[in-house]
Structure 1
Amino acid sequence: MQAAKKPGVVINLGSASGLYPMYGDPIYSCSKGGVVLFTRSLVPYKKEGIRINVLCPEFVRTDLALKVDSQLIEKMGGYVSMEAVIKGAFELITDETRAGSCLWITNRRGMEYWPTPMEEAKYLVRPYRLREKSQTISNSRVQLPESFEKIIVHTLSHKFRSATSIVKKPLRLPIKSDHVLVKIIYAGVNASDVNFSSGRYFSGNSKEIESRLPFDAGFEAVGLIAAVGDSVRHLKVGSPAAIMIFGGYSEFTMVPSKHILPVARPDPEVVAMLTSGLTASISLEKAAQMDHGKVVLVTAAAGGTGQFAVQLAKLAGNTVIATCGGKDKANLLKELGVDRVIDYKAEDIKTVLKEEFPKGVDIVYESVGGQMFDLCLNALAIYGRLVVIGMISQYQGEHGWKPLNYTGVCEKLLAKSQTLVGFFLNHYTHVWQQHLDKLVQLYTMGKLKVLIDPKRFLGLHSVADAVEHLHSGKSVGKVVVCIDPSYSNQSSKL
């Protein structure tokens, strides 16, 4: 085909035993596994119009398959029909986007492609040209002013506006030898900004926490490296960078170089991938231990982190349920591929889950707390896992964050062998860059959408408005503040 320069399709016959171990016949499983990886390694021939794919059906009624334990066949949903295999072959022939694809055919879930985009992103490496672009986006030096403004917390309060103020500080140079000065372009707004302004991110009694005042506010930001210390060799002035340390609500911030996360561009989509995107990506992998074929429930799904959770769960091959409040949010979630959107303003969540998912849900990604937590725990299936990533409904009480008691939690977990697990992003700093690269890869491949709240917030003076907007329940997607409005007029995107 290559010599004749005639495009076409080659279909290798593999087996589901090449995707997962076959304990009764390891040699067969090994050979089919070789066929699968051989096929997936031939993707480069796509450039010449030659597509090589592999079919991986489960047991088809053949003389060999008849020797397999009938109870195992029954548990797997019975023999796969020859018609299903033929249908899979024609799918690989007619779909010109498929090259190196492995089509897994089962009676339980029909036809599925392996690996899923989420799995694929774990081993794919960004092209060198993309990395080089991220280092040379701006060769010009960033102009350094004599002073800059930033937001500080001066009083402990869950009311962000009254707890914070904008102060002007001199820009002192030179910077420390192992530090980097970052000019902030965009900063992300998070539900826990009010927890931070009330001092809940610090240990100790109230007097000990008050002794820390004033302290810088803001969890995350993207911008350009404005200056580097003498000992910093791996970072250049003008390079885009992301940070996830306290002090994101500032025009400039100085951070140790080890805390810099290199990115392709300092865009709002990257801000969304930081606290929100990383929370979803890491917690679903580490805390939820998510694989495929599960039923996943995401609460507050139209928010900054929920949008990532529903898409990543779907990309992994799961059935996704999402809760939200409002018709517009529901429509957005449907566009993201959610299988069942529950608009709690139009229908009762408990009733929907009970009637449509009587066996329960396998994974819950929960960020609301209160009554929603109780509802989710009651809807959890046997062996289910409920991941708590927040409890936004409790953050804005009249007297601040009031802890709640959840009666009967131990009894419920014990009765169904369930797992309740908390997730705090700061405990996973060692995988931040890995998961950020994965999210960027999915985004650049067009397999992940990033929703930015349409309401614009410009300058540090709009941060309090942005925090209140997020807690109003009206926000959609990630709420972002443009610290430097002059940069937001540039059209180039990630």
Structure 2
Amino acid sequence: MSGPLLLQLLRRGRAAQRPTGALSGVRSIIDTSYSAHFMDFGRSSIPSVMRKLVVNKLSPDFREAVTAQTVAVPTPGDAELLVRNRFVGVNASDINYSAGRYDPSAKPPFDAGFEGIGEVVGLGLSASSRYTVGDAVAYFGSGAFAEYTVVPAKESVPVPAVRPELLTLLVSGATAYIALKRLGDLAEGETVLVTAAAGGTGQFAVQFAKRAGCHVIGTCSSDEKAGFLKSIGCDRPINYAAEDLAETLRREYPRGVDVVYESVGGSVLQVAVNSLANRGRLIVIGFISGYQTASGIPAFRGATLPAKLLQRSASIRGFFLPHFVGDYREALGSMMQMLAAGKLVCEVDRGDLSQEGRFVGLESVFRAVDYMYAGKNLGKVVVELLPPPVGNKL
């Protein structure tokens, strides 16, 4: 069959197979020219409409900025996948995104959400060389807070199954892995302080620092979280609700800490700076304590900062994951291997202990954001958007 004839058949909405022989084993091509021909791997038709979250107003108040809308299910282009989202991850930065802080030129409306995992239910012709309907994929990109999302095939990550634990690696795990590797300069025997250590990214920073042979301190807000931190290798959990963080660090670590993995900002950042050892490195991966304010930046008394850094030959380094895309594939591959070998804990919080129960359905993303900002989560906050298709074994 000639190439032009094949394309004509596809445009008529008929599925086609590539020729056998030298190309045997190549996956079938699924025509997604028309929504009527979208088929999931359970052979049930894709609906014509879906729900998604859209930023309609720039505001650090997520509920004020974002609304749920019913829209047509999108059609993937030639090199794209249509993913049926099963789980999506909630990040502290979702508020920065809805406030327009990442891209000041962005004007509403635009889609919300950074990361998702689900099944391929439709794809373009070029994308079919690598994927087929029914494949499990994860992705890191905008527009994840939707029942279906179109994702470039080259930016998708094939995964063995649609498990929420794998979702923890896309942003939270990758941030900790790359930041500590590229900016932490960890050496065996050093002391590492991880703030918000029982959260989505903190849990990974604890584990990676411990794998590097470091003594790890982790801050948290409850005895339950302190117990979890001990279970993943944290040498000294500090429950700041029961202990004074600054006093504890001065008393137990008089020479200071070598590396700080910091995501809280404000007064916690102040304590971290004052606790640096000679040649200490402080990595700023966020400052969640200020995200819900108008400026997004918590107050910080930095007038003496240059003198403190100079006196200790210390440094403060900022880390923003999109600036390190060249490290992303290696980081994700390495973490997947650790997880498969049982050497990495990926704690997921699906809201089971929240007042209204587990986070299920698109509307529960709002609850999940509130839950995280209330500091109630233990691990990565994940929302289940859609149940698995009938007969799905993933």
TM range (shorter): 0.7 to 0.9
Task: Report the CA distance shift for 1:350/1:265 in structure 2 as closer, same or farther (over 3 A).
Answer: same
Matched with 1:314 is 210
Task: Report the CA distance shift for 1:319/1:216 in structure 2 as closer, same or farther (over 3 A).
Answer: same
Matched with 2:336 is 440
Q: 2:119 aligns with which of 218, 224, 232?
A: 224
In the TM superposition, 1:28-427 aligns within 5 A as: 140=42, 143-173=45-75, 175-204=76-105, 209=106, 212-232=107-127, 233-397=129-293, 399-402=294-297, 404-405=299-300, 406-427=302-323
Task: Report the CA distance shift for 1:247/1:177 in structure 2 as closer, same or farther (over 3 A).
Answer: same
- Counterpart-to-counterpart distance in 1, 2:49 and 2:298: 41
Task: Report the CA distance shift for 1:446/1:421 in structure 2 as closer, same or farther (over 3 A).
Answer: same
Instruction: Tell me if 1:477 matches 2:372.
Output: no
Amino acid at match of 1:182: V
Q: SS in structure 2 opposite 1:235? A: coil
Amino acid at match of 1:363: V
Q: Is contact 2:287–2:297 with CA below 8 Å preserved after alignment?
A: no
Q: Is contact 2:42–2:392 with CA below 8 Å preserved after alignment?
A: no
Task: Report the CA distance shift for 1:142/1:443 in structure 2 as closer, same or farther (over 3 A).
Answer: farther
Amino acid at match of 1:360: G
Q: SS in structure 1 opposite 2:283? A: strand
TM-score for the superposition, normalised by structure 2 = 0.84
Structure 2 unaligned spans of 5+: 1-39, 352-357
Of 287-296 and 317-326, the range deviating more from structure 2: 287-296
Q: SS in structure 1 opposite 2:118? A: strand
| Identity in percent | 42
- Counterpart-to-counterpart distance in 1, 2:390 and 2:312: 51
Amino acid at match of 1:250: A
Amino acid at match of 1:354: R
Task: Report the CA distance shift for 1:452/1:344 in structure 2 as closer, same or farther (over 3 A).
Answer: same
Q: CA deviation at 1:203?
A: 2.9
Matched with 2:18 is none
Q: CA deviation at 1:140?
A: 4.7
Amino acid at match of 1:166: A
> Deviation per CA, 1:205-239, whole angstroms, max 9, x where unpaired?
xxxx4xx2100000111111111211221122211
The CA RMSD measured in Å over matched residues stands at 1.9
Q: Is contact 1:185–1:487 with CA below 8 Å preserved after alignment?
A: no
Task: Report the CA distance shift for 1:421/1:145 in structure 2 as closer, same or farther (over 3 A).
Answer: same
- Counterpart-to-counterpart distance in 1, 2:334 and 2:286: 23
Higher relative contact order (CA 8 A, sep 6+): 2
Matched with 1:53 is none
Q: CA deviation at 1:486?
A: 4.0
Q: CA deviation at 1:487?
A: 5.8
Q: Is contact 2:198–2:228 with CA below 8 Å preserved after alignment?
A: yes
Task: Report the CA distance shift for 1:342/1:488 in structure 2 as closer, same or farther (over 3 A).
Answer: farther
Q: CA deviation at 1:281?
A: 0.6
- Counterpart-to-counterpart distance in 2, 1:261 and 1:478: 19
Q: CA deviation at 1:284?
A: 0.6
Q: Is contact 2:111–2:143 with CA below 8 Å preserved after alignment?
A: yes
Instruction: Tell me if 1:457 matches 2:359.
Output: yes
Which protein is bigger by CA-based radius of gyration? 1
Residue-pair matches, total: 347
Q: CA deviation at 1:407?
A: 2.1
Amino acid at match of 1:144: I
TM-score for the superposition, normalised by structure 1 = 0.68
Amino acid at match of 1:376: A
Matched with 2:6 is none
- Counterpart-to-counterpart distance in 1, 2:169 and 2:88: 12
Task: Report the CA distance shift for 1:490/1:470 in structure 2 as closer, same or farther (over 3 A).
Answer: farther
Of 381-390 and 222-231, the range deviating more from structure 2: 222-231
- Counterpart-to-counterpart distance in 2, 1:343 and 1:431: 33
Task: Report the CA distance shift for 1:297/1:489 in structure 2 as closer, same or farther (over 3 A).
Answer: farther
Q: SS in structure 1 opposite 2:168? A: helix
Instruction: List 4+ stretches of structure 1 deviating above 6 A.
Output: 488-491
Amino acid at match of 1:434: E
